Chains A and B, each alone.
Chain A
């Protein structure tokens, strides 16, 4: 297999973008990425989108987006693993370049979430869980993570302050990210007194509803020099993908994310590294409890120690293992299908040294973890600077 490099990225400031359609969002980020890479064509593209049907009443999205980007007759596919959709796009694009089938591949994601009411969005998101045996009985998406949180608190003594500290930290990072939907700091008191959503999770423990798109251009590493100019070479060294049961109640351990553990192991093994070799990570903090469990399942901390680690500041920008320097889903926003590609962008920018005020000092190796549903699927990618 050929080694694959990232040669261009594109994203806009995310938010409630009333005046832009799903096509506009995608084309804006995709054009930026193609300009950034300096490519005038693509061989193919993979676009992650969770539910253009329920959110925007538009299916056959790959053709819509290829048409409006002006790249027909390039091959295009829309792929879906709920909130992990654009990480799946990344994996498929990586496979296509690595295999030698194509040279210039565009991967990305888009979600247009504000054309529907809040209730309709809640319904659409709940379809990432078991519609017949979870959603039917009235459990919402935040409700599933709330039940994971309650079980984690009961077993390990994880506290509300620790859950809240994750939001405080991610907003502090997001305040330095000009693309973030909510680029401002929040205090522990604000988080702990925000509106209740699903006990014990409050509004500021939850990622928001967001419109946005994120796009990355890939090419074979041995051609990257044609496009990168003075930028360091950033290559994909690990890719892991795993599934778990769709219903939370079917899992052996409700405080664990098995698909994350397995996907991470696959990515670590491919890259020939372990959790201790990762300088920083972007992880799927759809709810703050998710970041705590994910940092355990990635092997950054022992089981049950994700909460104390967050409280100590280990995952802060200046900590031993910075997590979500972009602001995470919490502050940057969570247009579900676009989130994974945006994680790849943040990891790449950190490795390029282009992360602005939130730049880490000289990182070499970053990881992106993106999951769908309550953990029913997870993708992990490892990127390294050469």
Chain B
């Protein structure tokens, strides 16, 4: 069987694993480390440095060292996360030609997928050295809440790195695969994944080798780096108070702060307090050297980051509620990501779920192991393992009023497909523009635009008459295809959506304005009409049988009572027909159906007897 590696492409660290002889194993890098910093630098001589080497020279070459590029990948220039990153990183982030994000290192411009590709390539090399053979196939993980553009950009990164990315899977899902691999278990578990840059919560059902993702949610802008930044801010403000100097203005100082903050945070997972010591951090205007020296306690760290931890719990609560899952159904909670080493995080998780978190998995390695397991499962002939993954965001099209009409809801197991019939909103409208959107917001422009196409050649007709069937299809690979069909002529248009990070919200908004004429409307009237007909049918039959039934049973008190009740139900149904209100009609029909059943029973018994 061809070798396939699993790569956890993390915000701060990356990890590569493989399944060998049925056992998933992490592959250590040349330095013997099991994870590699997700850092890329360009040295003075133009040489590209990746991983530990890049990290080691980061302080002296801060402006040319890229870290946390995962926060930029697949994003648009105008995104809040990009703005935030521009303020906090020492390297230069610039706007790309397609409103995307680029970084500039020594006057050379790189796209975010390129930087990620350098890291993937390094992981590929690590694996190749270990295995002594070429590796061409990989499964790469992304945060569950990554949208299509971010996933596509990650896939692009793989291609740039010369990898055939078999599948992009979610990090918490991968963690669950590693957790459940080889165990004969049947249970519902929660994966709490707080990594360097993102937070994800996923609920999975595991049974007989099948892993079904029930629900997944998260925040792509909440992770260990936010905890670091709190420490940095605390140090910066303290320093400013004392010396009236903003350390963030100095890129080298900022890099040193970042290093020391991360180190202090990690230490506080083991000890109660730690010394932060940065001699000669900066010089005053009069060239007098200044030192930074402070003591950080675990308590203080908890205080600085309490809102971050609470945010994770809040997201957990929301996810469970939306998935209609009671906490008591969960049998295990698995912690993933370095930030879950923080005692306060573990405490809050244990408190919220009422469970001691599972200790059996390594939070830094479990994701890569899971990716490798999925890779092997795809290539193996008779794998015992199957992952039933879901689509993390809803998909739909824009309809009249600039609203999103969802066809496929979030957390739907793939492969899946769904159709809906739409109609024109203008007289003699001969074309419709289908805007394919991804997201949960009600307003179309607040969601991600995945693609668009125009269905032309519609019959000239009064509005609301031409019927267009729109079908969404998501394959097991997560590829979205959209078809639109004119039901009258059979004419079809379709696209396979390949996400690009090419459009800004402004552009979408402009498109919304431009394309008002093209919009389509929901076909509700038809459903009302159908319901009405169904109700009318029941009424007709009830009225037809009424005299017969009355003749048979009205003799008894019970029968009289029953008939007067039946009369009320029938009258109510008749008045519902006039209302054209679907719910009322459905209720009336269901009630009358029961009466009608009784009627039929009486009639058939009387005829038979």
Partners in one complex: no
Interface residues of B (CB under 8 A from A): none
Interface residues of A (CB under 8 A from B): none
